[in-house]
Every structure is written in structure tokens, then in C-alpha cells.
Amino acid sequence: MKLEKYSFGTGDRFGQQGVAQLKAVRMAAERGVDIAIVWNKSHREHVIVGTSAADVRQEADAAVKGSRWEGGYHVDADHIGLDNVGQFVDHCDFFTIDVADYIGEKAADDDISAFVEANQQFTDSLKIEGLERAIRVSPDQLRSIAEKYLFAIKQAALIYDYIKAEKGIEPFITEVSLDETDAPQTPEELFFILSAVAAYRIPIQTIAPKFTGRFNKGVDFVGDVDRFNQEFNDDACVVNQAITSFGLPDNLKLSVHSGSDKFSIYPGIRSALERHGVGVHVKTAGTTWLEELIGLAEAGGDAFTLVKKIYRQAFGRYEELCGPYASVIDIDQAQLPSPDEVDLWGGIRFAKTLRHDQGCHDYDSNLRQLLHVAYKVAAEYGSVYLEAVNTNGEIIGKNVTTNLFDRHLKPLFI
Ligand SMILES: [Zn+2]
């Protein structure tokens, strides 16, 4: 099973917007750009929402069948580890193996020595096709890269082997993610990480490194855009070189996590794709749920009343909701509008405040980030929330499709 050159992870917290999401991908196809859609959901999301991987598979299959979609689609077991992969195996054909927690744990001395020995040929001066500068890694630096990453990649191999054993002959796509850590990986490190991936025989098709800058949930990139552009460009070259040097799958590509709404880096990603003819996987997770809230606010009446109740609870449960996401949000709590104030707003005002339109002066990134992590509150409303979403399916669907197509797929690919 080969992951398509361009793929986009949509996520869908409540599993109601598959058709609306697919519509955006179809609009891209109608413009001549084939993008595979990937429904990704992590263990954490499943626990909070009360769903399982089987639900995602059902949603994906139903949306694809109902829309007569003939393009690529996959169901991604997002950020799995050995402790939870079992629940995903039967229902997913895409596995994002997350080993970021193991970065820095040292492998056995013998493993490290063997790795250093095998990669000796790449030290001193390494010419990477497409890169202006030669990569220089001394034997000592190579050893410290091995000490930092080899154990993590060995863990990834353990998880891959488990999936492979469970799946038997059934094909699947493997991604390795290292993004949920503090320090970005340099192109040099990425090269040797991929060397380790090949040494442990993981047929990886996408890799999610930690890039420079902050990838906060649902808002734009925060950091040095030029530096990101350079790094993404270099990483794309490294990936291509790794395919040749290590015999990794020839469709191997970079994966950008928390990729939603990173408007300021989309042009840089796009130009790297064009320059090097490479593909990319962009993963988003919680943005569709925000479009549900926007649609409910626009619908007004009871639907908007429910949105205001959700906001009031989110505001009151700030620590609880934001705690688990502390490293991927930046909220100025003092700037959040009070629930009493929001109660006086109309639905259109609320929608404008939440929608990620940086040109709109009502837009508020604090409120947006708080609601991004507040899906737990909506999940607690259970069928009340789902009924509201389904009753207002048309207006919500329009927002979901427009958000994906106009703000994401278009600037990235079209
Ligand atoms: Zn990630």
C-alpha cells in the first residue's frame, strides 16, 4: 500500500463531517490535484470523545461510499505506542508510530557502536542533492546523534513489528513521528534518523520531525518563517537523499503535524514541493470541530445557545482543559472574553471571533485556542451536541468544506 504523493489528514473529533471533508478533497481533484484524505484520530481523542478506531473506519467507509469517492483514503492510528496500538490494528491502514518520548534514551553500547561504524562513510563531508551546503558531521557528532535517537527508532521498529505480525499480509502505511518534543531535529539528525529507520527495516513512508517554531493548535505558525522555509527545504532534500542512500521507499515524504492554519508557512512548503518534486502529508486534527461551533453559532437559536454554554464551561474549566495541551497552545487567559460578555453577542459575531480570518478584527486567537481544546465539554453533552450538529448539518458542512478547501488545500496544493 503506497501513500499518495499529496495527502491531508483531516481528523474529525465527533465523526460527523466525513462527507463535508471529502467534498473539499474532491474540489481539489476537480482542479487537477489528487490528494488522499486521511482520517486520523489519536488514542487521547478517542478517550475524551468516547469513540473507537472502529467508529473512524465506519465514518470513512460510509463517507467514501456515499460520495462515490474513487481517490485515495486512509484511516490513521495517530500517535500510537505499544500500549495502545492493539485497539487500532483491525481498523486502520495507516499507523503514526510516536517515539518522541524515547528521544534521549541511550541504546546499548553495542548498538551505538555498530551504527556509528555503519555510517562512518557519511561523516566529514556529505553531499546532499539539492542542498547548497555540504553537511558536515564529525564521528563524535554521529555518535551523539546515535545516542540521542537510536533507541527511539529501535522502539519504533518494535511497534512496527507488532503491527506487521498482527496484520499479516494486509498492507498498511507506516509513519514515524518525533514531533512532540522540545528541540527541533536538524537536517543532519534527520539524515541519520532515517539511516536508523532503514537499519531497523521499517518501510517508512512519511516522517514527522519536530520543526523549528511553534505549531500551536488551530492558529498560525509562531516563529521565524524564513528559518522554517530553509529547514523544510533542507529536510525535503535529506528525505530524497535517504531514499537513495538507504533504500527507503521511494515515496517517503515529510509529514507536518498540527498543520492546520499554518498559513504563513504554506507558501514555503509549497515552493519546496515544486522545487524538489516531493510530496507532503499535512496532518490536522481539531479544526473541523471548530467549524462545527462556527456553523452552530451562525445557525443561531438553540444551536447558538449550546455554543455559549460550551464556552462558559470551557472558560470555567480552563486549567483542566488546557493542561494536557500546554505545550501546543499559547493563550493569554486575561484577554479571554468573559462568558457574560459572550452571552450578549449574536451568533454572527461569535462566528467571526472564532473563525481563523486574520484580516477580521473580531478574530480572537485566545478564544479560538481555548475552544480548540474544549471538545471534551461538547463530548459531555453527548447526543445533545450530536443532534445539534446534525440538525444544522448544511450550514456546518459549508464551513467545514470551505475551511479545508479555501484556507488549506488551495494555498498548499492548488
Ligand atoms: Zn504530532
Distance 210 CA to ligand 1 centre (A): 8
Distance 135 CA to ligand 1 centre (A): 27
Query: What does the alpha-carbon distance between residue 414 and residue 409 come to, in Å, rounded to a whole number?
Result: 7
Distance 402 CA to ligand 1 centre (A): 24
pLDDT of residue 116: 97
DSSP string, 368-412: HHHHHT-HHHHHHTTHHHHHHHHHTHHHHHHHHHHIIIIIIIHHH
Structure confidence by residue, pLDDT tens digits, 16-64: 999 999 999 999 999 999 999 999 999 999 999 999 999 999 999 999 9
Distance 384 CA to ligand 1 centre (A): 31
Distance 79 CA to ligand 1 centre (A): 7
pLDDT of residue 133: 82
Distance 256 CA to ligand 1 centre (A): 8
pLDDT of residue 312: 98
Distance 370 CA to ligand 1 centre (A): 19
Distance 176 CA to ligand 1 centre (A): 10
Distance 216 CA to ligand 1 centre (A): 11
Q: Which of 156, 163, 138 is nearest to 193 (CA)?
A: 156
pLDDT band at 177 (very low <50, low <70, confident <90, very high): very high
Query: What does the alpha-carbon distance between residue 56 and residue 42 come to, in Å, rounded to a whole number?
Result: 11
Residue 134: is its pLDDT beyond 90?
Answer: no
Supply the mean pLDDT for the chain.
97
Distance 258 CA to ligand 1 centre (A): 6
Residue with cell string 537523499: 241
Distance 257 CA to ligand 1 centre (A): 5
What are the structural domain ranges in the chain? 6-285, 287-400
Distance 214 CA to ligand 1 centre (A): 12
Q: Which of 108, 94, 74, 131 is nearest to 276 (CA)?
A: 131
Provide the grid cell at 193.
534518523
Long-range contacts of 102-108 (CB under 8 A, 24+ apart): 102/151, 102/152, 102/155, 103/148, 103/149, 103/152, 103/178, 103/181, 104/148, 105/151, 105/152, 106/147, 106/151, 107/146, 107/147, 107/150, 107/151, 107/154
Distance 388 CA to ligand 1 centre (A): 30
Query: What does the alpha-carbon distance between residue 99 and residue 93 come to, in Å, rounded to a whole number?
Result: 19
DSSP state of 107: P
Provide the grid cell at 250.
521511494
Provide the grid cell at 53.
478506531
Distance 361 CA to ligand 1 centre (A): 31
CB atoms within 10 A of CB 350: 24
Query: What does the alpha-carbon distance between residue 240 and residue 277 come to, in Å, rounded to a whole number?
Result: 10
Residue with cell string 474532491: 26
Distance 175 CA to ligand 1 centre (A): 11
Distance 59 CA to ligand 1 centre (A): 22
Distance 43 CA to ligand 1 centre (A): 12
Distance 177 CA to ligand 1 centre (A): 6
The CATH class given to the 6-285 domain equals alpha beta
Percentage with pLDDT > 90 across the chain = 96
Residue 132: is its pLDDT beyond 90?
Answer: no
Residue 340 Ramachandran class (φ > 0 left, ψ -120 to 50 alpha, else beta): alpha
Distance 394 CA to ligand 1 centre (A): 31
Structure confidence by residue, pLDDT tens digits, 90-128: 999 999 999 999 999 999 999 999 999 999 999 987 889
pLDDT band at 262 (very low <50, low <70, confident <90, very high): very high
How many contiguous H segments (helices) and E segments (strands) does the chain have? Answer: 18, 8
pLDDT band at 280 (very low <50, low <70, confident <90, very high): very high
pLDDT of residue 135: 84
Kindly tell me the burial class for residue 228, based on how many C-beta atoms sit within 10 Å of its own C-beta (0-12, 13-18, 19 or more): buried
Q: Give start and end residues of each alpha helix (H) in 200-346.
A: 225-246, 266-276, 287-299, 301-316, 318-322, 339-343
The vertex-363 CA angle with 340 and 255, nearest 5°, equals: 120
pLDDT of residue 368: 98
Distance 11 CA to ligand 1 centre (A): 12
Distance 96 CA to ligand 1 centre (A): 9
pLDDT of residue 126: 86
Q: Would you mind telling me the total number of residues written for the chain in this entry?
A: 414
> Containing H/E element for 154?
helix 139-167
Structure confidence by residue, pLDDT tens digits, 183-231: 999 999 999 999 999 999 999 999 999 999 999 999 999 999 999 999 9
Distance 285 CA to ligand 1 centre (A): 10
Q: Can you tell me the mean pLDDT for 75-97? A: 97
Greatest Cα pair distance, the chain, in angstroms, is: 68
pLDDT of residue 293: 98
Distance 180 CA to ligand 1 centre (A): 6
pLDDT of residue 169: 95
Provide the grid cell at 340.
457574560
State the angle between helix axes of 383-391 and 393-402 in degrees (0 to 180), rounded to the nearest 10.
80
Q: Which of 346, 103, 326 is nearest to 209 (CA)?
A: 103
The answer to whether 188 touches 149, Cβ cutoff 8 Å, is: no
- Name the 3-class secondary structure at 210: coil
Task: Write the CB contacts of 260 (distance below 8 Å, at least 6 apart in sequence).
Answer: 217, 218, 284, 285, 286, 287, 408
DSSP state of 122: G
Indicate the pairing of strand 6-9 with strand 280-283.
Answer: parallel
Distance 310 CA to ligand 1 centre (A): 26
DSSP state of 15: S
Query: What does the alpha-carbon distance between residue 225 and residue 220 come to, in Å, rounded to a whole number?
Result: 11
Distance 240 CA to ligand 1 centre (A): 22
Q: What pTM, to 2 d.p., does this model score?
A: 0.97
Distance 304 CA to ligand 1 centre (A): 32
Distance 151 CA to ligand 1 centre (A): 19
Distance 28 CA to ligand 1 centre (A): 25
The answer to whether 20 touches 396, Cβ cutoff 8 Å, is: yes
Distance 84 CA to ligand 1 centre (A): 16
Q: Can you tell me the mean pLDDT for 276-283? A: 96
Distance 283 CA to ligand 1 centre (A): 8
